[in-house]
Amino acid sequence: MDKEEQLITNFRDLFDKMVWINKYKMEDRLKECTPSEVHCIESIEKNADSNVRELAKSLYMTRGAISKLTKKLMAKKLIESYQKPENKKEIYFKLTPQGKEIFKIHEDLHKEFRERDKVVFEQITDEQFDSMLYFVEKYNSHLDAEIKKQGLTIN
């Protein structure tokens, strides 16, 4: 296995382990929501004036999937829709108090996981962080260019 393959394999293993080790606590604390619903709630809270198009783009999902997801979240009374007075055509979403509670639980869990993993990050030098960040940004830009080149869009 060459270094490229080893790096990608290690990234996948790392991500899979993070998901697996966090899964049980997430599922226990966020019983009423699927992971997609929680990520949609997070995106709505972190991005002002979230609409279907923006959510699809930020979550790498189709607009149809986002429409279904937001309908479920509205039925659960976790989000609500609104329109701006100057634009009655566009529909936006915001969290309800119950949705804000889900968001807070999710954020608190992430803080807990970061605290658990802090021991590793404390050992990393600024130069090592800079090197890793450079690689991730470079690879991310490459994938953005490939997505554009292949004409892949969120519809």
Between the alpha carbon of residue 19 and those of residues 23, 35, 60, 110, the distances in Å are: 6, 11, 18, 12
Note the pLDDT of residue 151.
Answer: 87
Count of domains in the chain? 1
Q: What angle do CA 105, 66, 62 make, to 5 degrees?
A: 130
Sheet holding 79-84, edge to edge: 50-51, 87-95, 79-84
pLDDT of residue 153: 75
Question: Kind of pairing, strands 79-84 and 50-51?
Answer: unpaired
Query: What is the CATH classification number for the domain harbouring 7?
Result: 1.10.10.10
Task: Quote the pTM value.
Answer: 0.88
Which residues does the chain have with pLDDT short of 70? Answer: 154-155
Say if 150 falls within a structural domain.
Answer: no
- pLDDT at position 1 is 86
Let me know if residue 65 belongs to a domain. Answer: yes
pLDDT (tens digit per residue) in 100-125: 999 999 999 999 999 999 999 999 99
**Where would I find the beta strands (DSSP E) of 7-134?**
50-51, 79-84, 87-95
pLDDT at 88 (0 to 100): 84
